[in-house]
Structure 1
Amino acid sequence: MRATTLLSRHALLLASGLLLSCQLLAAEAGWRQLRIPGATPDAAPTVVALYYPTQAAPRTTAMGPFTVRAAIQAPPDEKFKGLILLSHGLAGTELGHNSLAEALARAGYLVAALRHPGDNWQDGSLLKQGGAAYFGERPRQASHVIDALLQDPQWKDRIARDDQGPRIGAVGHSAGGYTVLALAGAQADLSRIAAHCASERAADPIFCGVGRDDGTAATPAAPTAPSASLLPSLRDPRVRAVVAMAPAGVPFTAASLARVRVPTRIYEAEQDRFLVPRFHAEWIARNMPSAELRRIPNAWHFAFMDTPSMPIQTPDGDIAADPPGFDRQALLARLGREVPAFFDEALPKSPAP
């Protein structure tokens, strides 16, 4: 009896010690800014916000209308679970999804949130170049960031690898949702935009009016030549799991969606007026057998973004606005749990040979 009691006490002390060790090693979020040179000599550099696990204590820092809760310039942990590329929406910012990026960093991931050159809050020139440029360049920009980080001596050896290579996922919102799905293999046909907006402009007015002062034509404009309408595949085989939040889906062909095989989760904002779900998120989910659709009741389009400290106007009103009774902070906390868990499950854990 006494021996059993001693063993029980020893087991309890051991468990307590292990729990304490895990608590001491629990990661916080670190933050740094990186500038990546353009892919060509005349291309603009890409600004990237890096979020990563660290043992340093975080602090709250206001960065424009958004707030970062991380240890600025802190030393990173030696190893990360993987790399997650984060793509913002139309005219957005790399800081618009801080809470999600920080949650992924605390869960052990390196997060690279890029500011899309030519499509951010400071520069809208990419949209003016037409649909081929807009829907082609965004995924290329994301792949360029992955290229740079996998070559950077500061970060490349910290990213976990398995028998398939580096463990890489991607998450995006709105046009960023389009971007990460294109990385997964979905392919855009710009003639679909013209046909959609010719028949459904009244039902999907913001998507069909964005980028045009008169709001009368499909945007981004589709080319008239049939041979120019189907964009080449921009699949990046290194991206092995994606999360798309309120994604732009009209441009994608049904056939290409059906060919996507990487684990995919789609979050739909039920009351989305910017990208009406039945044309966008639900079109993707209907045609992608591998996709899991999660509908967020009573949510507007910008529910997946952090709430800014000042009004930011869009064609759908203020980014900070929510429908009566909607709890954005509860959704962001939910995403902070669900998205890291999704990548933990979706990215293989087998060790590299």
Structure 2
Amino acid sequence: MGTPVSIFIVALLWCATSAFASVGFQKIVIPDPHGKQIAVGIWYPSSAKPSPRPLGLLSQDVAVEGNVAGKKLPFILISHGAYGSLASHYDTAIALAQAGFVVAALTHTGDNSDDQSYLGNRIDLIDRPRQAKLVLDWMLDSWPQHNQLDQGRVGIFGFSLGGFTSLVEIGGTPELQRMALLCSSHPDAPECAFIKRTHGNQLDPDPTKPEWAHDARIRAAVIAAPAVSFLFGPGDLKRVSIPIQLWRAEDDTQAPDATNSGVVRKELPVHPEEHTVPGQDHYVFLAPCSAALASAVPEICHDTGDFDRTAFHKSFNDAVVSFFRKELGAR
């Protein structure tokens, strides 16, 4: 536990990095020696003037290619869910950047809004963590502003299959054969319907043993509505020792608690900071929808009753920022 003086110094450091209300933004592609180039969105504190800019069917107030303000900045990596993109959690990325973080969100190859070639297949589960680690390596070593990052303060945020990706990244070792066990014991599980709908091979026997990508540089994780968590059997999360903030939707029809968040909660050797969103479904953790997005993909934009997703995301983002500040605050 820090002394009052050290805590005061950390607080001053956070004030210094949080003084910039403006958020800079870059959209880049990085090379992948094993596949297609990976698109990445980067948000960061800046002193440049922002302006409204389109982001797919969304809009954000950012300073495109603005300067990166501050030094020794903490870094957060974001992994989206199935069919998602680097824009899926842009509002959370902006909130973190306003608080002094640099944030990179990748668009996962083969599992995004434009390319579903990996969906339902083992390669999606295995390759996602590798892609995430590749982006983390590039940001810390090759991003032109990487010297402004604090490599000792790295976190990860993952939603749905991005939650699974994040759990692997921080030390989890899933057992892919457990998918067949899930679908034999719970044939109505949404994961099983998803595999059938996408004609995937996750239920087929596979004698190979995957090489899972882990990254010890990650010091804290926010996991929201993790999917396919049944793949983590007894002991499969025993190497996860970092602080975790775990979120779930009470009425999640895509990643039900019993076979997903409940499994994570049970198997984690460290007790997570838990949050539940009452009466809501899986997609409540996605950024609030624009009218254009709601028209194009209404199923991810509809919430139950008179629930206000924009208001919820204000408190959600505040909690995410507070967690990462607490866990990554000390150098």
Q: TM-score range by the shorter chain?
A: 0.7 to 0.9
Q: The residue matched to 1:240 in structure 2 has which SS?
A: strand
Counterpart position of 1:47: 39
Q: The residue matched to 2:77 in structure 1 has which SS?
A: strand
Shift of residue 347, structure 1, vs aligned partner: 2.0
User: Is residue 280 of structure 1 aligned with residue 263 of structure 2?
Assistant: no
**Structure 1 contact 170–241 (Cα < 8 Å) conserved:** yes
User: Is residue 151 of structure 1 aligned with residue 131 of structure 2?
Assistant: no
Evaluate the alpha carbon distance shift between residue 24 and residue 178 of structure 1 in structure 2; reply closer, same or farther with a 3 A threshold.
Answer: closer
Shift of residue 59, structure 1, vs aligned partner: 2.4
For 2:113 and 2:143, how far apart are their aligned partners in 1? 31
* Alignment RMSD (CA, Å): 2.3
User: Is residue 311 of structure 1 aligned with residue 294 of structure 2?
Assistant: yes
Deviations 1:94-143 (A, max 9, x none): 11111100000011111000011111111111226x21x11110000000
| Runs (5+) with no aligned partner, structure 1 | 1-17
User: Is residue 253 of structure 1 aligned with residue 239 of structure 2?
Assistant: no
Counterpart position of 2:214: 235
Shift of residue 297, structure 1, vs aligned partner: 0.8
Q: The residue matched to 1:25 in structure 2 has which SS?
A: coil
Evaluate the alpha carbon distance shift between residue 35 and residue 153 of structure 1 in structure 2; reply closer, same or farther with a 3 A threshold.
Answer: closer
For 1:267 and 1:196, how far apart are their aligned partners in 2? 22
Evaluate the alpha carbon distance shift between residue 327 and residue 254 of structure 1 in structure 2; reply closer, same or farther with a 3 A threshold.
Answer: farther
Kindly provide the amino acid, as one letter, of the partner of residue 166 in structure 2. V
| Runs (5+) with no aligned partner, structure 2 | 1-11
What is the correspondence of 1:77-96 to structure 2 with a 5 Å cutoff? 77-96=69-88
Rg larger for:
1
Shift of residue 151, structure 1, vs aligned partner: 1.9
What is the correspondence of 1:311-330 to structure 2 with a 5 Å cutoff? 311=294, 318-330=299-311
TM-score normalised per structure 1: 0.83
Evaluate the alpha carbon distance shift between residue 29 and residue 78 of structure 1 in structure 2; reply closer, same or farther with a 3 A threshold.
Answer: same
Evaluate the alpha carbon distance shift between residue 322 and residue 44 of structure 1 in structure 2; reply closer, same or farther with a 3 A threshold.
Answer: same
**Structure 1 contact 39–144 (Cα < 8 Å) conserved:** no
Residue correspondences, number: 314
Deviations 1:3-51 (A, max 9, x none): xxxxxxxxxxxxxxx9xx97993342111111101134xx200000000
Shift of residue 91, structure 1, vs aligned partner: 1.2
Shift of residue 150, structure 1, vs aligned partner: 1.6
**Structure 1 contact 271–301 (Cα < 8 Å) conserved:** yes
User: Is residue 302 of structure 1 aligned with residue 286 of structure 2?
Assistant: no
For 1:94 and 1:335, how far apart are their aligned partners in 2? 19
Q: The residue matched to 1:56 in structure 2 has which SS?
A: coil
Between stretches 321-330 and 54-63, larger displacement belongs to: 54-63
User: Is residue 207 of structure 1 aligned with residue 186 of structure 2?
Assistant: no
What is the correspondence of 1:1-353 to structure 2 with a 5 Å cutoff? 25-40=19-34, 43-127=35-119, 130-131=121-122, 133-152=123-142, 154-161=144-151, 166-202=152-188, 204=189, 206-213=190-197, 221-225=202-206, 227-228=207-208, 231-248=210-227, 249-290=229-270, 291-309=272-290, 310-311=293-294, 318-347=299-328, 349-350=330-331
Counterpart position of 1:8: none
Counterpart position of 2:7: none
For 2:80 and 2:143, how far apart are their aligned partners in 1? 26
